[in-house]
């Protein structure tokens, strides 16, 4: 928020916008560095469970570990199914987020012959970030009653409604602000609940390897949604058609979650559900 304010107020305080951006980048790097120091000082390293064979190349060992993890994952049927579902719906989420400013600029300003209001677009970003915090807390509370999987599916249904609204009904900046609120509400909650649920469906002491696969599914396929978005624009010339096309990612993810038995997935990984863990360790 401070960086956004600095960029917006740059002329008033006697600096150029370019200088304000440079200062903001420096501030962001210092922010990351500060909390990295806190993390490295406070978190204790666990003893390694495996020893590297003498003379074994680190790169070779890494790929061997990756292959072993994939083989192990293939034996966890429902965890694998969840991961595939996550690959699709998360790609849709990332594409909406990455292209939202371009979409709003085109549909609310450029297509009407108006100059893009950068202050408005930055404000939309702030609104989404605030509502993401609220959504993560609110939907976590809901998940206690209906379960994490059902809560994620509710979020995906809302994502479908968001892209339908953007396609057929978005006309004003006020509507865009309202849409940003809903995007934020389901953005933080979908990602937080997905990580939480996945962490229960993987074997203990294998978290690093399995979350490595999780990150590959999240980052390694992030081009799919953007490719669809770009192709639809190229074919139709319409940003609204492109945003609507992303509904396929949410629907595929939703459908794949339906047969995903999260309780069996947790048991297959050798873990207890939160409810079972609570019963096995009653409070004193």
Q: Please provide the average confidence, as pLDDT, over all residues in the chain.
A: 87
Query: How is residue 146 written in tokens?
Result: 């209906």
pLDDT for 52: 59
Mean pLDDT of 82-86: 93
* Residue pLDDT, tens place only, 206-233: 888 888 888 877 777 778 889 999 999 9
Q: Compute the distance between CA of residue 189 and CA of residue 183 in angstroms, rounded to an integer.
A: 10
pLDDT for 145: 92
Query: How is residue 278 written in tokens?
Result: 């609570």
Helix, strand, coil fractions of the chain, as percent rounded to 5: 80, 0, 20
Higher-confidence position of 201 and 218: 201
Q: Compute the distance between CA of residue 116 and CA of residue 278 in angstroms, rounded to an integer.
A: 53
The radius of gyration of the chain from alpha carbons, rounded to an integer in Å, stands at: 22
Res. 199 pLDDT band, cuts 50 70 90: very high
pLDDT for 277: 79
pLDDT > 80? residue 139: yes
Residue 267 DSSP class: H
Residue 52 DSSP class: P
pLDDT > 70? residue 156: yes
Query: How is residue 180 written in tokens?
Result: 């940003």
How many other C-beta atoms are found inside a 10 Å radius of the C-beta of residue 224?
Answer: 16
Ranking 116-120, 149-153, 177-181 by mean pLDDT, the lowest is: 116-120
pLDDT for 215: 82
pLDDT for 146: 93
pLDDT for 207: 84
Residue that is written with structure tokens 């849409």 in the block: 179
72-77 contact pairs (CB < 8 A, 24+): 72/203, 72/206, 73/210, 73/213, 75/268, 76/201, 76/202, 76/265, 76/268, 76/269, 77/265, 77/268
Q: Compute the distance between CA of residue 23 and CA of residue 99 in angstroms, rounded to an integer.
A: 25
Res. 182 pLDDT band, cuts 50 70 90: very high
Q: Give how far Cα 232 sits from Cα of 107, 120, 229, 238, 243, Å.
A: 16, 26, 5, 7, 9
Q: Compute the distance between CA of residue 98 and CA of residue 230 in angstroms, rounded to an integer.
A: 12
What fold is seen in the domain 76-273? Answer: Growth Hormone; Chain: A; (1.20.1250)
* Residue pLDDT, tens place only, 257-270: 999 999 999 999 99
* Residue pLDDT, tens place only, 13-62: 888 877 887 888 888 899 889 988 888 888 776 665 566 566 667 777 77
Q: Compute the distance between CA of residue 15 and CA of residue 215 in angstroms, rounded to an integer.
A: 40
How many other C-beta atoms are found inside a 10 Å radius of the C-beta of residue 82?
Answer: 24
For the chain, the structural domain boundaries read 2-39, 76-273
Residues 252, 88: contact at Cβ < 8 Å?
Answer: yes
pLDDT for 60: 77
Mean pLDDT of 163-184: 95
Q: Compute the distance between CA of residue 122 and CA of residue 116 in angstroms, rounded to an integer.
A: 11
Residue 14 DSSP class: T
């Amino acid at each position: 928020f401070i960086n956004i304010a600095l960029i917006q107020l740059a002329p008033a305080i006697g600096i150029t916008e370019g200088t304000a951006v440079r200062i903001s980048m420096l501030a962001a790097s210092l922010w990351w560095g500060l909390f990295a120091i806190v993390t490295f000082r406070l978190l204790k390293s666990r003893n390694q469970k495996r020893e590297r064979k003498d003379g074994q190349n680190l790169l070779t060992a890494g790929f061997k570990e990756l292959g072993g993890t994939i083989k192990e994952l293939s034996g966890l049927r429902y965890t694998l199914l969840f991961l595939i579902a996550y690959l699709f719906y998360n790609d849709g989420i990332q594409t909406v987020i990455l292209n939202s400013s371009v979409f709003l600029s085109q549909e609310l300003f450029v297509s009407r012959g108006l100059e893009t209001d950068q202050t408005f677009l930055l404000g939309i970003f702030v609104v989404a970030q605030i509502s993401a915090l609220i959504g993560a807390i609110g939907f976590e509370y809901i998940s206690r009653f209906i379960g994490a999987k059902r809560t994620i599916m509710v979020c995906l249904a809302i994502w479908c409604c968001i892209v339908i609204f953007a396609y057929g009904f978005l006309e004003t900046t006020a509507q865009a602000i309202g849409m940003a609120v809903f995007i934020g509400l389901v953005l933080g909650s979908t990602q937080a609940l997905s990580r939480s649920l996945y962490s229960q469906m993987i074997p203990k002491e294998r978290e690093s390897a399995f979350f490595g696969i999780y990150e590959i599914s999240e980052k390694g396929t992030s081009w799919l949604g953007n490719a669809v978005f770009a192709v639809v624009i190229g074919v139709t010339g319409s940003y609204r058609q492109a945003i609507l096309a992303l509904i396929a990612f949410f629907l595929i993810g939703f459908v794949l979650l339906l047969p995903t038995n999260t309780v069996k997935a947790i048991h297959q990984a050798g873990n207890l559900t939160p409810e079972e863990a609570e019963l096995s360790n009653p409070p004193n």
